Amino acid sequence: MKISTKGRYGLRAMLELVRANGKLVSLSAIAQQESLSLNYLESIFSQMKHARLVCSATGAQGGYRLAQPADQISAFDVLSSLEGDLSVTEEGPNMPPIRQYLTKNVWDVIDQKVEVILKSTSLKDLLDAQQKKQD
């Protein structure tokens, strides 16, 4: 599994919303703070809005905020909404025995462990860890 720029930028942008503590944040402010492309963020936030991770308000004072509390949105929620399948391999049916063995005993085990870690790591956890590291 390789997390694309979309997933990495999406997670960074979501942490900006966590820092805002419920206040609306414009995409241009996030783009400037994180040195990201505004057009790319618009695409990312469109997907996250569709996944109901963020909500938006239009107008001069508009922007985005988290759709749920930060401790209820996991890294898995964000990454899977942007990346889709987070599996380390793309194995299909009718595999030779050695590939079946590797899939079952290596790749699936890695997938399960990654999923457990991502699902148990909330946006709040990530922000808390970052702030702790800065102190």
What tens digit of pLDDT does each residue of 84-94 get? 888 888 776 78
pLDDT of residue 95: 81
- Cα 20 to Cα 8, 10, 90, 108: the distances in Å are 19, 16, 38, 37
**Average pLDDT, stretch 27-46?**
95
Q: Which domains does the chain have, with CATH numbers?
A: 5-134 (1.10.10.10)
Is the sign of the CA dihedral 33, 37, 39, 40 positive or negative? Answer: negative
CB of 89 closer than 8 Å to CB of 106: no
Question: For residues 86 and 14, which has the higher predicted lDDT (pLDDT)?
Answer: 14
Assign 3-state DSSP to the chain and report helix, strand, coil percentages, each to 5: 60, 10, 30
Q: Is the pLDDT of residue 130 over 80?
A: yes
